[in-house]
Amino acid sequence: MRFPRNAKIFRGQLDAAPFAGVFFVFVILILMSSRMVFTPGVRIELPSVARDLPGTANPIVVVALDADGQFHYENQALPMGKSLLLRLRSAVQRSKDPLTLLIHADRNARLEGVVQLWAAAPELGFANAWVTTRSAGASPGASPPASR
């Protein structure tokens, strides 16, 4: 059975309206995915060091400690207690790979909170625990690298 061919090659002038519509949709998508929107959060000023320190290749879990001694995990403020420890333990159990605990401690935070979390890391099942720093050349307002 033969089908009639009535498709013709377009040889006229292109209409710009569809291209403009697609362009504006792309512009809106780019603007929505950008960081132009205010992101609420707690300011953590990491201490700076004069030399480069080793990093980790393992997947990471980040817990932040602000200057007031409040812990922050998964965008929630949690006290150092069973709720934080249970959530960290469940994160370790869900992971297939060994996890590294990154502690973002403010430079004015009390050392007691960092040490408590650091000491609890092996009991929770973390392979390593690291306290993050800022390199000496980085500006004070620079944010730490995003977690993977």
Q: For the chain, what are the domain ranges?
A: 48-135
Q: Give yes or no for residue 24 having a pLDDT over 90.
A: yes
Query: 33-62 pLDDT, tens per residue?
Result: 776 666 666 676 766 766 666 677 778 899
pLDDT of residue 7: 75
- Residue 120 and residue 87 in contact, taking contact as beta carbons nearer than 8 Å: no
Domain 48-135: state its class: alpha beta
How many other β-carbons are positioned within 10 Å of the β-carbon of residue 77?
Answer: 13
Query: 87-130 pLDDT, tens per residue?
Result: 999 999 998 888 889 898 888 888 888 888 888 999 999 988 88
Cα–Cα distance list, 140 to 31, 47, 111, 114, 132 (Å): 27, 9, 21, 21, 14
Q: Which of 19-23, 65-69, 81-85, 140-144 has the highest mean pLDDT?
A: 19-23
pLDDT of residue 147: 43
pLDDT of residue 32: 80
C-alpha span between 23 and 25 (Å, rounded): 5
